[in-house]
Amino acid sequence: MNDATLLHVKRKKRPSPPPPAAPIDSGPASAFPPPMTPPVLYSFRRCPYAMRARLALAASGQRCELREVELKRKPLEMLAASPKGTVPVLVLADGTVIDQSLDIMRWALAAHDPLRWLQPGDTEALVAACDDHFKPQLDRYKYPGRFADAVQAEAREQGARFLRELEARLAASAFLLGAHATLADAALMPFVRQYAMVEPAWFEAQPWPRLRAWLADWIASPLFDSVMRKNPPWRSGEAGIAFP
Ligand SMILES: N[C@@H](CCC(=O)N[C@@H](CS)C(=O)NCC(=O)O)C(=O)O
């Protein structure tokens, strides 16, 4: 599958949806060759960090056992693997734990990168600007009532500064780092989406036509759709969901 298939849904016929996710069945004991144990992904559907990890895992075609987490009731198995208690967490078959979203993205894409998301460029700087500066402003902006109005207005403006930079990039090229989507687009998209959802009418009225189109294309893409399916919370002892 190439970029166009995944991202430009409006220009392409939407493929028929994949079959519903089913619990992983490792098959009969006699199966040959022996089935590979997929990595376990602890994830929370609405978490933007988990979304970016799922996007990269799906883009790479890396099969996982997805365990949907409730943040108020984190599984002990997840905390044993990663005591810091944030999602996403990926636990490989050999016990290796990867518990930073960006590292999960890089791990998946290093194994298989059919969409060529790993590209030289400003990826680190863009992701750091998003995670270290934009995200804290987004948190102040998105919780009405938790902060004073003036704090919220200032946070919206601080966030808007970052989005103006993204708009300028998208004026120069179709995606943040060039002519096709890369890890940077996938890593930032879930956060821009959250910002846009705080005050949709206000966001729509901003002079950011390219950013809006970029976001709309991502949201409409089969790839995004495939990582946003709803799954029941995982319970200890149960099989997770086959993902993607
Ligand atoms: N730096 C981490 C941040 C992950 C993160 O903060 N995830 C949030 C959810 S969006 C979380 O799990 N918070 C813990 C909690 O709310 O208890 C990463 O990139 O993976």
Task: Please write the tens of the pLDDT for every residue from 17-63.
Answer: 444 444 444 445 555 666 679 999 999 999 999 999 999 999 999 99
Distance CA 140, CA 237 (A): 38
User: Which of the listed residues 55, 89, 115 is the one where a domain comes to its end?
Assistant: 115
Same domain, 136 and 103: no
What is the CATH number for 161? Answer: 1.20.1050.10
- Whether 199 is covered by a domain: the verdict is yes
- Whether 30 is covered by a domain: the verdict is no
Burial class (CB in 10 A: 0-12, 13-18, 19+), 5: middle
Give the torsion sign (CA, 180, 185, 186, 190). Answer: negative
Residue-wise pLDDT tens digits, 176-199: 999 999 999 999 999 999 999 999
Cβ–ligand 1 distance for 100 under 6 Å, the answer: yes
Q: Which of 10-19, 86-95, 114-123 has the lowest average pLDDT?
A: 10-19
Confidence of residue 4 (pLDDT cuts 50, 70, 90): very low
What confidence score (pLDDT) does residue 145 get? Answer: 72
Kindly compute the dihedral angle of the four CA atoms of residues 105, 108, 110, 113, in this order, to the nearest 10 degrees: -100
| Closest to 156 (Cα-Cα) out of 183, 137, 180 | 137
What confidence score (pLDDT) does residue 32 get? Answer: 60
What confidence score (pLDDT) does residue 14 get? Answer: 40
- Whether 8 is covered by a domain: the verdict is no
What confidence score (pLDDT) does residue 7 get? Answer: 46
**What's the 25 CA to ligand 1 centre distance in angstroms?**
29
Q: Name the residue of 87, 138, 194 whose CB sits within 8 Å of the most ligand 1 atoms, as the mutation to test its pocket.
A: 87
Q: Is pLDDT above 80 for 69?
A: yes
User: Which of the listed residues 53, 86, 115 is the one where a domain comes to its end?
Assistant: 115
Same domain, 101 and 167: no
- Whether 11 is covered by a domain: the verdict is no
- Whether 176 is covered by a domain: the verdict is yes
Ligand 1 nearest-atom number relative to CA 47: 10
Same domain, 104 and 145: no
In sequence order, what are the residues at sequence separation of 6 or more whose Cβ sits closer than 8 angstroms to the Cβ of residue 27?
35
Same domain, 59 and 96: yes
Q: Whose CA is nearest to atom 2 of ligand 1?
A: 100
End-to-end CA distance of the chain: 14
Same domain, 91 and 135: no
Cβ–ligand 1 distance for 86 under 6 Å, the answer: yes
Residue-wise pLDDT tens digits, 211-223: 999 999 999 999 9
Same domain, 108 and 128: no
Residue-wise pLDDT tens digits, 97-139: 999 999 999 999 999 999 999 998 899 999 999 999 999 999 9
Cβ–ligand 1 distance for 53 under 6 Å, the answer: no
Same domain, 106 and 83: yes
Distance CA 52, CA 227 (A): 9
Ligand 1 nearest-atom number relative to CA 72: 17
* 97-98, strands of its sheet edge to edge: 97-98, 89-91, 40-43, 64-68, 241-243
- Whether 14 is covered by a domain: the verdict is no
Same domain, 74 and 144: no
Same domain, 202 and 129: yes
Q: Is pLDDT above 70 for 80?
A: yes
Q: Is pLDDT above 60 for 200?
A: yes
Same domain, 210 and 129: yes
Same domain, 142 and 212: yes
What confidence score (pLDDT) does residue 121 get? Answer: 86
pTM above 0.75, yes or no: yes
State the residue for tokens 């759709």: 225
What confidence score (pLDDT) does residue 35 get? Answer: 66
User: Which of the listed residues 115, 142, 175 is the one where a domain comes to its end?
Assistant: 115
What is the CATH number for 65? Answer: 3.40.30.10
Residue-wise pLDDT tens digits, 147-164: 678 888 999 999 999 999
Total of domains in the chain: 2
- Whether 130 is covered by a domain: the verdict is yes
Same domain, 109 and 131: no
- Whether 2 is covered by a domain: the verdict is no
Residue 139, domain extent:
123-224
Cβ–ligand 1 distance for 194 under 6 Å, the answer: no
